Amino acid sequence: MPRPLPFTAHRLLAPMEGVTDPCFRDLVLARNAPEALGGAFTEFARVVQVALPRRSLREHLGARRFAQPVGLQLMGSDTELVAESARRAEEVGAPLVDLNFGCPAKGALRGCAGSSLLRDPSAVERLVRAAVGAVERVPVSAKIRAGYDDDSRLEELARAAENGGASLLTVHCRTKAELYCDEVDWTRLARAASAVSIPVCGNGGVRTHTDFERLRRETGCAYAMVGRAALGDPWIFSGARVTAADAARFLLDYAEVLRAEHVSARGAAGRVKQLLQHWTAGGLCDEDRASWLTESEPERLFARLGAVAGGTRDPVLNPAFEAELDTRPAPEPRSTLGARLVPVLDPPSPHGAPEARALGSTSPTSIAALAHFRRPNSEGSPADVRSSPDRP
Ligand SMILES: Cc1cc2nc3c(=O)[nH]c(=O)nc-3n(C[C@H](O)[C@H](O)[C@H](O)COP(=O)(O)O)c2cc1C
């Protein structure tokens, strides 16, 4: 039986390796009310050789919780290791476990994980079933592409995920061969949605706020997920039209959070520039993107952003709560958590019963102040992420 999904709205932030770590993700979650942004995902956590240690899973989830759930994405091909990692993910507090069947990067393909599994629907089914069997309460979702070389096995893949027990299927409408091409074919999303009875989340080519609704309307998908356009406009979920000052403030806050995580100034500037490549919000760099991207001195880049931001403070629409760092020996059933933690909302969920989420301590904290985990791979890279074949 599919399990109720914890999302608070039908617009979701896609998992993006190298971007949707807690530093970026938390800023987006904080600036979007739960009825605008329904949930997010961690970057993929690669499962190779051993099940992922709980510490690493906690790092992926981050130290803070918001009203919206953050699904923990796993990528691997060994059923036992993926199952054990899923079990631990639930144990450390993941509200949903997502399995990656779309990553086209060479590393994933070499390890026969990610999109390479699209050539073998039975492997997709096996992995989903193993993860579903390993967790006790949380839903498991699968994120696929439309196919490997072509889309001829799309329905088969969708049904494999459903038969394995997935509660949600996310379909990135491009095939592995198409990588991140500009053209998208949403009829594939409609095909997937018709092939299964579990909810489907459509992904690929959402560029504007109105595209979310258009995608759902045209395809019958229950959810719509955005990737790169959210890097350029973190407010895409609500459609809020922010000022250049708000936009600059977001980027400065991002740099500040990264610096608090011990990323070098150059690394933080690189990560800011990675966003600037996609940036559309507030018209900040519509006229002179190149001059922002070629700003070679980090301090000059930050000063320039500071000059535009002035004294602005972005409204934090969605307060964060300290996550309980889970050192308990065994997970507690959800029903008992409710008494101890704070239910923040009771949203209408497109699928499954509305659910109050438990969020740990009640003290909201300032965005930049919290930096609990060091990330080993935290140097920024300004590389263009739009079409690299090494991207998931
Ligand atoms: C930089 C980058 C990193 C990504 N990392 C992941 C990942 O970790 N897991 C995953 O399932 N998809 C990943 N993707 C794919 C996105 O989740 C999404 O499916 C893809 O970008 C298509 O959506 P879009 O057209 O809205 O960008 C990544 C994409 C990009 C651009």
Does residue 268 sit in the same domain as residue 207?
Answer: no
Does residue 153 sit in the same domain as residue 183?
Answer: yes
State whether the beta carbon of 203 lies less than 6 angstroms from ligand 1.
yes
Does residue 85 belong to any structural domain of this protein?
yes
Return the top range by mean pLDDT from 212-216, 318-322, 325-329: 212-216
Does residue 224 belong to any structural domain of this protein?
yes
Does residue 222 belong to any structural domain of this protein?
yes
What percentage of the chain has pLDDT greater than the value 90? 76
State whether the beta carbon of 71 lies less than 6 angstroms from ligand 1.
no
Q: What is the rounded distance in angstroms from the CA atom of residue 268 to the CA atom of residue 260? A: 10
Does residue 187 sit in the same domain as residue 228?
Answer: yes
Has residue 368 got a pLDDT over 80?
no
Domain boundary among 262, 290, 309: 309
* Pocket-testing residue among 11, 12, 13, 16, ligand 1, by greatest number of atoms within 8 A of Cβ: 16
Strand, helix or coil at 306? helix
Does residue 266 sit in the same domain as residue 173?
Answer: no
Ligand 1 atom closest to Cα of residue 204: 25
Domain tally, the chain? 2
In this structure, the residue with its CA closest to atom 6 of ligand 1 is: 16
Has residue 228 got a pLDDT over 80?
yes
Ligand 1 centroid to 13 CA: how many Å?
A: 10
State whether the beta carbon of 13 lies less than 6 angstroms from ligand 1.
no
Does residue 96 belong to any structural domain of this protein?
yes
State whether the beta carbon of 206 lies less than 6 angstroms from ligand 1.
yes
In this structure, the residue with its CA closest to atom 28 of ligand 1 is: 16
pLDDT at 112: 83
Ligand 1 centroid to 336 CA: how many Å?
A: 36
CA angle, residues 220, 226, 231, in degrees to nearest 5: 170
Q: Which residue has the higher pLDDT, 178 or 330?
A: 178
Mean pLDDT of the chain: 85
Does residue 254 sit in the same domain as residue 220?
Answer: no
What average pLDDT does this structure show over 39-47? Answer: 97
Does residue 75 belong to any structural domain of this protein?
yes
Ligand 1 atom closest to Cα of residue 172: 19
Q: What are phi and psi of 239, to 5 degrees?
A: 75, 10
Is 6:358 a contact under the CB 8 Å cutoff? no
Does residue 372 belong to any structural domain of this protein?
no
Ligand 1 centroid to 274 CA: how many Å?
A: 14
In this structure, the residue with its CA closest to atom 21 of ligand 1 is: 227
Q: What is the rounded distance in angstroms from the CA atom of residue 212 to the CA atom of residue 304? A: 33
What average pLDDT does this structure show over 98-118? Answer: 89
Has residue 241 got a pLDDT over 90?
yes
State whether the beta carbon of 219 lies less than 6 angstroms from ligand 1.
no
Q: What are phi and psi of 358, to 5 degrees?
A: -95, 130
Does residue 262 sit in the same domain as residue 148?
Answer: no
pLDDT at 319: 86
In this structure, the residue with its CA closest to atom 22 of ligand 1 is: 204
Does residue 366 belong to any structural domain of this protein?
no
State whether the beta carbon of 224 lies less than 6 angstroms from ligand 1.
no
pLDDT at 359: 28
Handedness of CA 280, 382, 14, 228 (dihedral sign): positive
State whether the beta carbon of 95 lies less than 6 angstroms from ligand 1.
no
User: What's 141's domain CATH number?
Assistant: 3.20.20.70
Has residue 347 got a pLDDT over 60?
no
What average pLDDT does this structure show over 8-21? Answer: 97
Does residue 104 sit in the same domain as residue 227?
Answer: yes
Domain boundary among 176, 200, 232: 232
pLDDT at 105: 85
Is 386:180 a contact under the CB 8 Å cutoff? yes
User: What's 174's DSSP letter?
Assistant: S
What average pLDDT does this structure show over 22-45? Answer: 97
Does residue 201 sit in the same domain as residue 300?
Answer: no
Q: What is the pLDDT of residues 126-159, one digit of tens each?
A: 999 999 999 999 999 999 999 999 999 999 999 9
CA distances from 342 to 29, 30, 282, 315 (A): 18, 17, 34, 22
What percentage of the chain has pLDDT greater than the value 70? 82
103 is known as an active-site residue: yes
Ligand 1 atom closest to Cα of residue 19: 1
Distance from first CA to last CA of the chain, Å, rounded?
29
Does residue 211 sit in the same domain as residue 101?
Answer: yes
Does residue 79 sit in the same domain as residue 170?
Answer: yes
pLDDT at 136: 98
Q: What is the rounded distance in angstroms from the CA atom of residue 75 to the CA atom of residue 44? A: 6
Domain boundary among 232, 257, 280: 232
Residue 326: pLDDT band by 50, 70, 90 thresholds? low
Does residue 386 belong to any structural domain of this protein?
no
Catalytically annotated residue among 23, 103, 173, 201:
103
Residue 120: pLDDT band by 50, 70, 90 thresholds? very high
Does residue 16 sit in the same domain as residue 107?
Answer: yes
Has residue 385 got a pLDDT over 90?
no
Which residue type, as a one-letter code, is found at position 13?
L
Has residue 285 got a pLDDT over 70?
yes
Does residue 208 sit in the same domain as residue 254?
Answer: no
Q: What is the rounded distance in angstroms from the CA atom of residue 122 to the CA atom of residue 128? A: 10
What tokens appear for 254 in the block?
Answer: 């991002």
Q: Pick from 38, 69, 67, 44: which is nearest to 57 by CA?
A: 44
Has residue 338 got a pLDDT over 50?
no
What torsion do the CA atoms of 225, 277, 391, 188 make, to the nearest 10 degrees?
40
Q: Which domain holds residue 79?
A: 11-232
What tokens appear for 117 in the block?
Answer: 């599994």
* Pocket-testing residue among 17, 101, 116, 275, ligand 1, by greatest number of atoms within 8 A of Cβ: 17
Handedness of CA 314, 320, 322, 328 (dihedral sign): negative
Q: What is the rounded distance in angstroms from the CA atom of residue 117 to the CA atom of residue 169? A: 15
Residue 136: burial class (beta carbons within 10 Å; 0-12, 13-18, 19+): exposed
What average pLDDT does this structure show over 358-378? Answer: 29
